[in-house]
Amino acid sequence: MNEERVLALAGLFQAATLAQQLANDGRCDETAMAGSIASVFRIDAPSVVGVYGDVSAVRLGLRQLITLLDESNRDVAITRMAFTVMRLERSLARRSDLLDQLQQGIVSAQRQVEHFGQDSPQVVKRLAELYATTLSTLKPRVMVTGNPQQLQQPAVVEKVRASLLAAVRSAVLWRQLGGRQWQMLLYRKQCGMLARGLLTGSTISNS
């Protein structure tokens, strides 16, 4: 386990946490959301940190990862969602047609970013549609449970789907770096230490 893999994992758990926050409350950590959405558009980033812009952009994910690795304090819904996304990424890897469709969709959404801004409802809606027409068609389906009243709001559902697209982006990165699910169990302690180190470093550099 190394820092780059831990960062990709943090990106995955952050996006899953945002989806769960939205499903429960209809709102989420906006700073973390901006970091996660930005990662979707950085397809050719020169480094793992570059995908997120800065380590501080995945601070919520690092905290979630530390919580997960401390067995006494685990959020089952977020953990289940993150592991389902990892399996979904494997399904996607076998479908070059959908991968192409996703990449083309992200490039076309990038034009909307330039026009409306990355955090605009138009961009979130476009990413949500992209998730629905590509990743939603694969198995396993990511099930997001929460407050039924919130999950009936179209704007909330769009943000949930955009978050899940960001989660898949991080899962792809994790796999590209040689990340495998069993490593989280085998290197639990090391992973937790690296996550704590990254979180502390990002807090110091941003204070």
Per-residue pLDDT of 111-138, as tens digits, reads 999 999 998 999 999 999 999 999 999 9
CATH code, 157: 1.10.3890.10
pLDDT digits (tens, 9 = 90+) for 60-113: 999 999 998 887 667 889 999 999 999 999 999 999 999 999 999 999 999 999
Q: Which two tokens stand for residue 17?
A: 């946490």
Range of the domain at 41: 3-205
Do 139 and 109 meet the contact criterion of CB atoms below 8 Å apart?
Answer: no
SS3 (DSSP) at 105: helix
Helices vs. strands in the chain: H and E counts, helices first? 10, 0
pLDDT digits (tens, 9 = 90+) for 174-207: 999 999 988 888 899 999 999 999 999 987 766 5
